[in-house]
Amino acid sequence: MILQFNGPVVHLVECLLCMQEVSGSSPLGSTIIMSEFLQFKDLKIEVKTSAQARRWRLAVHADGRIVLTRPKSFFQLPPDKIIAERYDWLKAKTKFWQEHRGNAPILSKTQQRQAYLQNKIAARNLVRARLEFYNQKYKLKYNRISIKNTATTWGSCSSRGNLNFNYKIVLLPERLADYIVVHELCHLAALNHSTRFWRLVGESLPDYKLLRAQLKKIGRLS
């Protein structure tokens, strides 16, 4: 979900699924031309300057990182002013992640790798089957399906139509796994979290708001 504040320039991102890849023209990845850190009160914020971004974008990640991405050509609002205005929101989101991460077992790197290898094929089979099922309705085209061992995202959709899913999807209750599949599938039709996007999701999962809330409670599984 993207919460938009009054001004048109800032996107506050708290989508559990797509925290890092909201859209194909996402101001992340190779378009970043500069990255620096800013300290504001007790918060450390990574400020990234993007060659492609057209708007400010402020994200609080599940691992506690706060990232402000700003367009190269935008000079009016200094980063500390943006942060100052959203300080309370940032604190609340940081606290949310701290609380929800607290319940998850911490696995060592080796254990994580093992869990990934053990569940990867089952996850792929599940995702394939559920994508095919739901896509009977949408009839969208997708390319590669990847099962990944990502730390903070459940799934993502690229502008090239590649779909990525966290292997832990196979460990979730069926309805929540379906929600992730439908969410990413619908991003093939709308690479954003617009009203149209949620309408598409709702066509398959009328109770998507509830599922989304449940998934949020779970947070990420480590």
What 8-state DSSP symbol labels residue 30? G
Which one of 6-14, 17-25, 110-118, 122-130 is the stretch in contact with Zn ion (CB under 5 A)? Answer: 17-25
Our CB check for Zn ion shows the closer of 87 and 96 to be 96
| Angle at CA of residue 48, ends 46 and 52, nearest 5° | 155
Binding mask 48-77 for Zn ion (x = CB under 5 A): ------------------------------
How far apart are CB 208 and Zn ion at their closest, in Å?
Answer: 11
Which one of 5-13, 15-23, 57-65, 138-146 is the stretch in contact with Zn ion (CB under 5 A)? Answer: 15-23
Which one of 2-10, 12-20, 55-63, 120-128 is the stretch in contact with Zn ion (CB under 5 A)? Answer: 12-20
Residue 11 bridge partners (DSSP):
4, 57
Among 10, 13, 16, 17, binds Zn ion (CB under 5 A): 17
Number of H helices, E strands in the chain: 6, 9
131 binds Zn ion (CB under 5 A): no
What 8-state DSSP symbol labels residue 9? T
> Torsions phi, psi of 50, nearest 5?
-110, 140
| Angle at CA of residue 175, ends 97 and 171, nearest 5° | 65
Our CB check for Zn ion shows the closer of 41 and 196 to be 196
How far apart are CB 184 and Zn ion at their closest, in Å?
Answer: 7
**Residues 102, 94 contacting (CB under 8 angstroms):** no
Our CB check for Zn ion shows the closer of 40 and 197 to be 197
Which one of 6-14, 16-24, 88-96, 98-106 is the stretch in contact with Zn ion (CB under 5 A)? Answer: 16-24
Q: How far apart are CA 165 and CA 148, in angstroms?
A: 6
How far apart are CB 164 and Zn ion at their closest, in Å?
Answer: 12
Our CB check for Zn ion shows the closer of 18 and 170 to be 18
**Residues 179, 208 contacting (CB under 8 angstroms):** yes
Among 10, 13, 16, 18, binds Zn ion (CB under 5 A): 18
> Torsions phi, psi of 43, nearest 5?
-105, 140
Q: Helix-strand-coil percent breakdown of the chain, rounded to 5?
A: 45, 20, 35
Residues in touch with Zn ion (CB under 5 A): 17-18
